[in-house]
Chains A and B, each alone.
Chain A
Amino acid sequence: MILIGENIHILSKAVSDAIKEKNTKYLQDLAVKQAEAGVDYIDLNIGPARKDPEIMLWIVESIQEVVNLPLSLDTTNPKAMEAGLSVCKIKPLINSASGKEESKLEMLPLAQKYNCDVIVSVLTDRGIPTDATSRAEAIMETVAYANELGIPNENIWVDPIMMPISVDQQQVVELIEFMQMLPEIAPGIKSSIGLSNLSNGTPHHLRAILNRIELIILQRYGLYSSIVDSFDHELVDLMKGRLPKIVDIIYKTMDDEIDLSSLSINELNIAKTVNVLMGKTLYSHSWLEI
């Protein structure tokens, strides 16, 4: 799976300060560390950058000096996006466009103009779809529009929009179902997800286990990429195939082919988490204690 490192993010105080002070060194170090951690893309979230869209140009050039990875340009501001795209050396990723009118008019054309990849979420002016079918409906409209602009399916990474499990468990299940529909409704299309929203609202110490296991589940259903915390080393190891035993337990639990009584506590926690993520057990913050 393609991993997009999320750690250069405007919501981080240190990152926000570094951008404000044009502290190139800090951001470069952070990018290098992420590359060393094993991610495939470096996300550059600079916020809307209303005052100074050229920030994106500066940050892209600074990061390209020190890492040889493709970049994911993350801003809602089309001017900033274009400033960044114009200097990228490796085919970058636009993060992100959507089916909202504004995005269709200003963001999607950039993907065509620069022949780059683009994350397209299922969001439209009608809001976030609430089940698998309406996700499919929303994305079909937007993809058709993008195709007409000359963007091929191969350059589109669909973001089905992850919702917090503590708010609406059913949405997590619907997303899994949508992932299974995706190859049929849009052949050749790719996909990407903002993983950490899954565990928003879940007690902090339990977030990692939810995130990691969900990603393995989604990978099994064909998820192409995910935006992740580069420094969650276990997650990276898991996704790079270095922890096959854990994957095995996850798959077996998904297939109802596991004997719970034979498991260690850690393995049992994995199985319980799979059941919560697949909607087989009703979520509560104490799902591991039951």
Chain B
Amino acid sequence: MKEFLESYKGEIKEVVLGKEGKSLIIGGENTLPFHTFEGKMPHLPVLALEVWDKEPENWPEHLLSNFSDVISSPLKWAKKCVDVFKADLVSLYLASTDSDEFDSTKVALMVKEIAESLPVPLTVQGIGDKDKDVIVLKEVAKVCAGESLLLGPVVKENYEEIGKAALEFGHSIIVQSPLDINLAKELNVKLSKFFPRDKIVIDPLSSALGYGLDYTFSIMERIKQVAVIHGDDLMKMPMIASIGRECWKTKEAKESKEQGVLWEAITGLTFTLAGSNLVVMNHPESLNLIRKLIK
């Protein structure tokens, strides 16, 4: 049998999330996703639930109702994700910074409180505004020194500033490029000049089923192939798929609970098959569905 199996050149780097005692490792595989018959996959993809630091406005009732008792407290919401819904980790979305007046110190202290209280690692994601994200993520990096957060998204316009702050205070980063494998590599090249490669998670930009999922799938698949098969050192980082927000803004997911949960679960599962090592979701039931399938 052995002579029929492929062995590959590249091994995905292991990235450690969270500080000692409550850390999680992602990556480490030296084969294509779930090809455990021809290589090792020491860590299954991990599943995060997303928490907002401001009440979401356009969520359908069948999503919101999971969190209605905790929706006004990001801390309680985060705890519920871990204690009740058994998420591997929590991803905090800084929705409150989508405004002209936010207090970055206050936001950072809130993040700190959550990070310290949780028994699992924390990912912190800005709203994707290249300027606001710099302000708030730099402050979060500083205030949460030592928590080994995963911060992002870091893009070509702000990688230097956020990267330097993450490096100084010991955090990992999510490096995002717009569905373009060459630009993903380009950003990794630039970051690698001052930032350790084992603290980078690639975000090729996720989309939902029916809304460009196939583009994301192709890029993820190629990134994993380039890393594992061709051994490209600059692409050997684990990948993240943030799919919750993408899925729950579709009209299909809003229509009914069953459809929404399946929409999110199929999107997330598809990306784990393409090589995603960390999936960020919104609905606990879709998380459970994926967990059952990949176990």
List residues of chain A with CB under 8 Å of any chain B CB.
166, 169, 280-286, 289-290
**A-B pairs, 3 with minimum CB distance:** A284-B185, A284-B186, A286-B189
- Report Cα–Cα, A286/B191, bound state, in Å: 12
Contacts of A286 in B (CB 8 A): 186, 189-190
Q: Which of B185, B188, B235 gathers the greatest number of chain A CB atoms within 10 Å?
A: B185
Query: In B72-107, which residues have CB < 8 Å from any A CB?
Result: none
- Report Cα–Cα, A40/B182, bound state, in Å: 36
Q: Are B182 and A169 in contact (CB under 8 A)?
A: yes
Contacts of B230 in A (CB 8 A): 280-282
Smallest CB separation, B43 vs chain A (Å)? 24
Q: Per-position contact with A for B152-194: 1 when CB-CB < 8 Å, else 0? A: 0000000000000000000000000000011101101110000
Tell me which of A169, A280, A285, A290 contacts B234 (CB under 8 A): A290
> Quick check: is B273 within 8 A (CB to CB) of the other chain?
no
Q: Are B186 and A285 in contact (CB under 8 A)?
A: yes
Smallest CB separation, B122 vs chain A (Å)? 31
Smallest CB separation, A38 vs chain B (Å)? 34
> Quick check: is B226 within 8 A (CB to CB) of the other chain?
yes
> Quick check: is B232 within 8 A (CB to CB) of the other chain?
yes
A sample of 29 inter-chain contacts (CB < 8 A) reads A166-B182, A169-B182, A280-B230, A281-B230, A281-B232, A282-B181, A282-B182, A282-B185, A282-B230, A282-B232, A282-B234, A282-B235, A283-B182, A283-B185, A284-B182, A284-B183, A284-B185, A284-B186, A284-B188, A284-B189, A284-B234, A285-B182, A285-B186, A286-B186, A286-B189, A286-B190, A289-B189, A290-B189, A290-B234
- Report Cα–Cα, A280/B232, bound state, in Å: 10
Q: Per-position contact with A for B199-235: 1 when CB-CB < 8 Å, else 0? A: 0000000000000000000000000001000101011
Q: Per-position contact with A for B215-257: 1 when CB-CB < 8 Å, else 0? A: 0000000000010001010110000000000000000000000
Smallest CB separation, B180 vs chain A (Å)? 9
Contacts of A280 in B (CB 8 A): 230
Smallest CB separation, A29 vs chain B (Å)? 40
Which secondary structure characterizes the binding site on chain A?
Answer: loop
- Report Cα–Cα, A156/B178, bound state, in Å: 41
- Report Cα–Cα, A284/B185, bound state, in Å: 6
- Report Cα–Cα, A280/B231, bound state, in Å: 10
- Report Cα–Cα, A169/B235, bound state, in Å: 16
Contacts of B190 in A (CB 8 A): 286
Measured CB to CB, the nearest residue on chain B to A285 is B186
Smallest CB separation, A144 vs chain B (Å)? 34
- Report Cα–Cα, A290/B232, bound state, in Å: 11
- Report Cα–Cα, A281/B9, bound state, in Å: 14
Measured CB to CB, the nearest residue on chain A to B189 is A286
Contacts of B185 in A (CB 8 A): 282-284
- Report Cα–Cα, A169/B232, bound state, in Å: 15
Contacts of A289 in B (CB 8 A): 189
- Report Cα–Cα, A255/B51, bound state, in Å: 53
- Report Cα–Cα, A1/B186, bound state, in Å: 34
- Report Cα–Cα, A166/B189, bound state, in Å: 15
- Report Cα–Cα, A169/B222, bound state, in Å: 12
Q: A282-B182, A286-B190 provided; 8 other pairs, C-beta below 8 A? A: A169-B182, A282-B185, A282-B235, A284-B186, A285-B182, A285-B186, A286-B189, A289-B189
Contacts of A284 in B (CB 8 A): 182-183, 185-186, 188-189, 234
Measured CB to CB, the nearest residue on chain A to B184 is A284
- Report Cα–Cα, A260/B230, bound state, in Å: 18
Smallest CB separation, A79 vs chain B (Å)? 42
Smallest CB separation, B218 vs chain A (Å)? 11
Contacts of B226 in A (CB 8 A): 282
Measured CB to CB, the nearest residue on chain B to A167 is B182
Query: In B106-155, which residues have CB < 8 Å from any A CB?
Result: none
- Report Cα–Cα, A133/B230, bound state, in Å: 24
- Report Cα–Cα, A289/B190, bound state, in Å: 9
Measured CB to CB, the nearest residue on chain A to B187 is A284
Q: Which of A169, A282, A286 gathers the greatest number of chain B CB atoms within 10 Å?
A: A282
- Report Cα–Cα, A286/B188, bound state, in Å: 10
- Report Cα–Cα, A289/B191, bound state, in Å: 12
Contacts of B189 in A (CB 8 A): 284, 286, 289-290
Smallest CB separation, A73 vs chain B (Å)? 36
Contacts of A283 in B (CB 8 A): 182, 185
Measured CB to CB, the nearest residue on chain A to B190 is A286
- Report Cα–Cα, A126/B263, bound state, in Å: 34
Measured CB to CB, the nearest residue on chain B to A290 is B189
- Report Cα–Cα, A280/B188, bound state, in Å: 18
Smallest CB separation, A174 vs chain B (Å)? 15
- Report Cα–Cα, A283/B188, bound state, in Å: 12
